[in-house]
Amino acid sequence: MLIDIRSLSLKVGDHQILHDVHLALNAGEIYGLVGPNGAGKTTTIAAAMGLLNREGGTISVLGDDPGIDARSIRARCGVLPEQNGFYDWMNAADYLGFFARLYAFERTLREIQERLTQVGLEPHPRQTIGTFSRGMRQRLGLARALIGNPELLVLDEPTNGLDPRGRREIHNVLIELSRRGVGILLCTHLLDDVDRLCHRIGLIVHGRTVAEGTLAELIQKADKRTRFRVRLGGPLPKAERGPSHVSIVAEQGDWAVVDLDPGTAPAVAWRELLLAGWPVVEIHAAGGGLEDLYLSLTEDKAA
Amino acid sequence: MSPVVVLARKEAGELVLSPRGIAWLLAMAAALSVFGLLLVGNTELSLLDNAQVVYDMAGIVTALGALLAVVVGNDSIAGERERGSLMALLLTPISRAGLVTGKMGGLVIAWVLMFLIAVPYLWAVGSTGQNLVAAILGVALFGTPVVLSFGLFAMGLAARLGSSRSSLIATLIALLVSGSPVVLGPSLRQSAIGRMFDAINPFSGAVNAFDSVIIDSQPIAAQAGRLGLTIVWLALATWFAYSGVRRLAR
């Protein structure tokens, strides 16, 4: 296991920021750490990297305790912090070369160019970072996190400031890294990123992990139905018994709004609909997924 | 290459390549030019003894060097923190001690550049050049610990205080207080409080050593006590910086 955090509690000054945080990340996994602003996501990352001392609980990162050997952990991790500043007077290649040397790597210019290309950043060699757009800076930050060939990537809001194409490109980079066995802790409030990328999710509210698991598990645990809009090519069959795992919420002309029962895989539900004789033309997600789950869980805990 | 050297090289690069660093060095050169012109151009000041003029210039070089070190030291921690680049450094494998040492390397390079800029001014104000070697040696030997002490003190304070502005103002006040006996004149310095302050103040230690070496032509070896005072302050400031940076992000 790359990260194993159990019952983590932490104070900053007199403020109790974390009460009871759990997190388990395996190699090759993308773990989404989500929660409202101020929930303790960034503090959890800081504790995992040895920047903050914990009050209670245990933390193991790459087999080491960050309270004892933070440098060894940092040498094997790539981190993109939320507060992501640069040396504006440098160019991208010099900047990455500087950080590579801090990781005790002497990267050739070609290797540095490969890292820049990997994240979709190809500036003019003499262009200084001061002239970069926000999206270019975000990509450079990701290249910096990758410069030491990390076993573990910790990314705090990595797609902030990126356009939809840029976000998709970064998603592809992260998926490729995950396939190569790199564990990725993705801290974000963009639920679309979580939905698209993460194998497992941890939800933190007020410094406590209130839910952890795969999206399907969380929806099942929270008894949240997944809602879809189904476009129909004709009227619904008048059968006495409809599909058993799907309930119709509303019918609006050619469209029907349906809820899937908790834990029902969408593919199973669609087969049921077809077997029941539904003239299905197309299906769209219509809420009831991660966003609804997030809102209901954060609302419950905030209340 | 050691991460400490890598960081020190980056700090030096920032000083000579970034617009901010270039502006600081140009400001120092401009200040030296103004003081140099005053010393040789002003009717009253130009009547001063040659050794006295070189002594004055040595004090000015040390004071400006300390000012530059305060600005560089403060910016290297508080400025980086406010620009968001310090966190990326803290997340690399470099140790906190390595971070301070690398940043201290940047201070040393800033002072060396300032010193090189100052040498022609020392030569220019001492028209005969007879006190030049004593002045250069004096500034190098007694000025260096004072300048680095203020830079490290600024780093330690910047690591402890939340804002760059607060730490800069606090360090500048400390620099002004330290330099005040030199400004206030000999009568106050002869009082009991003045003498006590002189005995513990590193700035006074350096300036009094300049007086003995440049004006009175005493041997440098006779200034061991004053050198010791500046080195004690350098050691204290180094500890202050290390302990402050160790607490960063904690």
CATH of the domain at A62: 3.40.50.300
Pair B102, B72: CB distance under 8 Å: no
A74 to B93: CB separation less than 8 angstroms, yes or no: yes
Question: Is B46 an interface residue toward A (CB < 8 Å)?
Answer: no
Q: Which two tokens stand for residue A200?
A: 């497992």
Regions of chain A where pLDDT drops below 50:
303
Residues A173 and A236 in one domain: no
Domain for residue A297, yes or no? no
User: Any idea how long chain A is?
Assistant: 303
Distance from CA of B81 to the nearest CA of A (A): 9
Range of the domain at A251: 225-287
Residues A179 and A250 in one domain: no
**Domain end (from A194, A218, A242):** A218
Judged against a pLDDT cut of 60, whether residue B185 lies above it is answered with yes
What's residue B102's pLDDT? 93
For residue A245, what is the domain's CATH number? 3.30.70
Question: Is B163 an interface residue toward A (CB < 8 Å)?
Answer: no
Domain for residue A303, yes or no? no
Residues A144 and A254 in one domain: no
- Calculate Rg over the CA atoms of chain A: 22
Question: Is B7 an interface residue toward A (CB < 8 Å)?
Answer: yes
Distance from CA of B116 to the nearest CA of A (A): 24
Cα distances (angstroms) measured from residue A255 to each of A110, A231, B38, B205: 55, 5, 88, 88
Q: How many domains does chain A contain in total?
A: 2
Q: Which of A34-38, B64-68, B87-91, B193-197 is predicted with the least confidence, judged by mean pLDDT?
A: B193-197
Domain for residue A301, yes or no? no
Domain for residue A295, yes or no? no
What's residue A57's pLDDT? 92
Chain B, nearest residue to A87 by Cα = B85
Distance from CA of A51 to the nearest CA of B (A): 6
Mean pLDDT of B82-100: 91
SS3 letters for B13-61? HHHHHCHHHHHHHHHHHHHHHHHHHHHHHCCCHHHCCHHHHHHHHHHHH
Rounded to the nearest 5 degrees, what angle is found at the Cα of B152, between the Cα atoms of B194 and A98? 165
Residues A206 and A88 in one domain: yes
Residues A123 and A195 in one domain: yes
Distance from CA of A82 to the nearest CA of B (A): 9
What's residue A65's pLDDT? 93
DSSP structural state of residue B129:
-
The percentage of residues in chain B with a pLDDT greater than 70, rounded to a whole number, is: 93
A85 to B18: CB separation less than 8 angstroms, yes or no: no
Pair A155, A182: CB distance under 8 Å: no
Q: What are phi and psi of A247, to 5 degrees?
A: -120, 140
Q: How far apart are alpha carbons A158 and A167 in whole angstroms?
A: 9
Helices (H) and strands (E) in chain A, counts: 10, 13
A85 to B89: CB separation less than 8 angstroms, yes or no: no
DSSP structural state of residue A262:
T
**Domain end (from A198, A218, A238):** A218
Judged against a pLDDT cut of 90, whether residue B144 lies above it is answered with yes
User: What's the first-to-final CA gap in chain A, in angstroms?
Assistant: 34
Question: Is B90 an interface residue toward A (CB < 8 Å)?
Answer: yes
Question: Is B199 an interface residue toward A (CB < 8 Å)?
Answer: no
Chain A, nearest residue to B11 by Cα = A87
Select from B7, B18, B83 the Cβ nearest to the Cβ of A85: B83
Residues A86 and A195 in one domain: yes
Strand-strand pairing, A280-285 and A226-232: antiparallel
pLDDT band per the 50, 70, 90 thresholds, residue B249: low
What's residue B123's pLDDT? 84
Taking contacts as CB-CB distances below 8 angstroms, the residues of chain B near A84 are 84, 87-88
Q: How far apart are alpha carbons A199 and A225 in whole angstroms?
A: 20
Residues A213 and A229 in one domain: no
Taking contacts as CB-CB distances below 8 angstroms, the residues of chain A near B93 are 71-72, 74-75, 102-104
Domain for residue A300, yes or no? no
A51 to B250: CB separation less than 8 angstroms, yes or no: yes
Residue A27: enclosing H or E segment and its boundaries?
none
Pair A195, A215: CB distance under 8 Å: yes
Domain for residue A279, yes or no? yes
Select from B6, B18, B85 the Cβ nearest to the Cβ of A102: B6
pLDDT band per the 50, 70, 90 thresholds, residue B45: low
Taking contacts as CB-CB distances below 8 angstroms, the residues of chain A near B19 are 89
More confident call, B10 vs A215: B10
More confident call, B169 vs A298: B169
Q: What long-range pairs does B78-81 form, CB within 8 A, spacing at least 24?
A: B78/B158, B78/B159, B78/B161, B78/B163, B78/B164, B78/B167, B78/B168, B79/B158, B79/B164, B80/A85, B81/B158, B81/B164
Chain A, nearest residue to B84 by Cα = A85
**Domain end (from A180, A195, A218):** A218
Domain for residue A294, yes or no? no
Domain for residue A263, yes or no? yes
CB atoms within 10 A of CB A266: 14
Helix (H, G, I), strand (E, B) or coil at A34: strand
What's residue A175's pLDDT? 93
Q: How far apart are alpha carbons B109 and B14 in whole angstroms?
A: 11
Residues A190 and A258 in one domain: no
A71 to B7: CB separation less than 8 angstroms, yes or no: no
Residues A202 and A230 in one domain: no
Beta-strand ranges (E) seen in A98-245 are 152-156, 183-187, 200-205, 208-213, 226-232
Question: Is B93 an interface residue toward A (CB < 8 Å)?
Answer: yes
Residues A87 and A167 in one domain: yes
Residues A166 and A58 in one domain: yes
Distance of CA A197 to the CA centre of its chain: 6
What's residue B41's pLDDT? 76
B10 to A98: CB separation less than 8 angstroms, yes or no: yes
Residues A107 and A247 in one domain: no
pLDDT in tens, A144-157: 999 988 999 999 98
Select from A90, A103, A106 the Cβ nearest to the Cβ of B93: A103
Pair A259, A227: CB distance under 8 Å: yes
What's residue A118's pLDDT? 87
Residue A257's identity, in one-letter code, is V
Rounded to the nearest 5 degrees, what angle is found at the Cα of A23, between the Cα atoms of A21 and A29? 160
Q: Which residue in A35, A52, A45, A112 sits closest to A83, CA to CA? A: A45
Across the beta sheet with A30-34, the strand order is A56-61, A3-12, A15-25, A208-213, A200-205, A30-34, A183-187, A152-156, A77-80
Question: Is B3 an interface residue toward A (CB < 8 Å)?
Answer: yes
Interface of A with B (CB under 8 A): 46, 49, 51-53, 71-72, 74-75, 77, 79, 81, 83-90, 98-99, 101-104, 106, 141, 144
What's residue A48's pLDDT? 93
Please state the pTM of the whole predicted model.
0.81
